[in-house]
Amino acid sequence: MADFNALTLKGALDGMAAGAFSAEELARAQVAAIEAANPALNAYVLATPEKAIAMARASDARRARGEAGRLEGAAIGIKDLFATDGTRTTAGSKILGNFVPPYESTVTANLWREGAVMLGKLNLDEFAMGSSNESSAFGPVVNPWRGRGSDKPLTPGGSSGGSAAAVAADLCLAATATDTGGSIRQPASFTGTVGIKPTYGRCSRWGIVAFASSLDQAGPIAKTVEDAAILLTAMAGHDPKDSTSLPVSVPDFSAFVGQSVKGLRVGVPEDYRIDGMPAEIAALWDQGIEWLKEAGAQVKSVRLPHTKYALPVYYIIAPAEASSNLARYDGMRFGLREPGATLTEVYENTRAAGFGDEVKRRILIGTYVLSAGYYDAYYLKAQQVRRRIADDFDAAFLEVDAILTPTAPSAAFGLGERTDDPVAMYLNDVFTVTTNLAGLPGISLPAGLSSEGLPLGLQLIGRALDEGTLFSLAGAMEKAAGFRDKPAKWW
């Protein structure tokens, strides 16, 4: 059973196709691993073992009939931001209570259509607002990695901390996640996994609990670049129910992994060499440049001069959109309802009890920047600078095919270390928010270990709808890095 859990997504699919084991055997092994590990890691807010076994049996029956989909029998975890028909969906918040959607998100519907098996719903920062998975109403996720010689619990990153921790600890073959400012890529970097935020509009947002609608995008977290490509191919596709979904075909992204990168031009933005960057992050970045050169890519310097404004722009636009999106949680139609003598008191009491501190902070910021007298000074100005950030990328991509940066400014930090300093927490997104603001794809892959023996990631950013080039480059870097490390099992 342990061998089943250590499989990659591709290895599991190949094994089931060859008849080496069944989907039910695989699902039972994963269920047992979750039962053993989740009390310590808190990666799943809701395990669904009975549903997993039933879906696996149905998958085996389809395979026996010759009707196997591209993910037939693959046991995966679902971030608890995706609506799952008949299965509780909370967005990590008390205000949704025991909300059970009567509908399925488009992304998960796509996965079930391809034969995937659901192991459960994965923990996350409340409404996906956070960089450490400590704002969840269900408590923090614990990173399966530990520093060398230390038993200090570490963050897996956020908001998709449950997804990243579950993949790293072999509690699923792969997982769905979402990325609004780095919530796929930063957790992937902290846990030694691969995560890609695709182009805005590549995956449907329908049925995903909204945080900031112009920034949110679904994507996979997986064990390898190829696994991420396989899962993204199944997740993506045009959806008429989402007005921002792009009406474009979805290539088989796994076909790009392993392709030669000779002649591809990769840019290195000097604007990302921020003050105080740790030496080991800078050294890893330089190592990544050498790997790409050795693989035949051309590396050159590029300028992204408005990068320095990205964090303040993001932390105006995202809270503004969150303030608007979260206005629907009023205790009237679904979720938590607190008593009150008047309708206004019901609203006030419900929202005060239902939202956590970080969500309240962002609602207040968002409401402030949208208010009369401040809209032009803050929100409108932020949107204008956002356009400049996108223009920077457009200019850079006239000269290069992709851009290489670090994923995060540090390795995983301890739980509780930054909860009292929101600005220090927000700085975790310094390398990732630009791609969300510009709507571009970005992939993080594990590239080495810190001095404390913790994973460090590198990020590749590509042109809109050019995930294929990112998968080719990431595949070459993955091969060069040879990252095979796994967390020592302490749980």
pLDDT tens, N- to C-terminus, the chain (491 residues)? 458 999 999 999 999 999 999 999 999 999 999 999 999 999 999 999 999 999 999 999 999 999 999 999 999 999 999 999 999 999 999 999 899 999 999 999 999 999 999 999 999 999 999 999 999 999 999 999 999 999 999 999 999 999 999 999 999 999 999 999 999 999 999 999 999 999 999 999 999 999 999 999 999 999 999 999 999 999 999 999 999 999 999 999 999 999 999 999 999 999 999 888 999 999 999 999 999 999 999 999 999 999 999 999 999 999 999 999 999 999 998 899 999 999 999 999 999 999 999 999 999 999 999 998 999 999 999 999 999 999 999 999 999 999 999 999 999 999 999 887 777 787 888 999 999 999 999 999 999 999 999 999 999 999 999 999 999 999 999 999 999 999 999 99
Q: Is 159 a catalytic residue?
A: yes
Per the confidence metrics, is the pTM higher than 0.85? yes
Look at residue 398 and tell me if it is in a domain.
no
Look at residue 342 and tell me if it is in a domain.
no
- DSSP string covering 33-64: HHHHHHHHH--EEEE-HHHHHHHHHHHHHHHH
Domains: count for the chain = 1
Q: Which domain holds residue 197?
A: 2-258+464-481
SS3 state at 67: coil
* Residue 49: Cβ within 10 Å count: 16
One-letter amino acid of 125: D
CA pair distance 136, 356, nearest whole angstrom: 8
Look at residue 206 and tell me if it is in a domain.
yes
Look at residue 389 and tell me if it is in a domain.
no
* Residue 488: Cβ within 10 Å count: 10
Domain CATH number, residue 25:
3.90.1300.10
Look at residue 340 and tell me if it is in a domain.
no
Pairing of strands 402-406, 265-269: parallel
Look at residue 149 and tell me if it is in a domain.
yes
Q: Which of 10, 79, 121, 223 is catalytic?
A: 79
Cα distance between the two ends of the chain: 17
Q: What is the DSSP letter of 203?
A: S
Look at residue 308 and tell me if it is in a domain.
no
Residue with tokens 């997993």: 52
- Give the burial string for 93-104 (b: 16+ CB within 10 Å, else e): bbbbbebebeeb
Q: Is 213 a catalytic residue?
A: no
Structure tokens at 398: 């006239």
**Are the beta carbons of 425 and 419 closer than 8 angstroms?**
yes
Q: Which of 183, 204, 444, 472 is catalytic?
A: 183
Look at residue 269 and tell me if it is in a domain.
no
Q: Is 472 a catalytic residue?
A: no
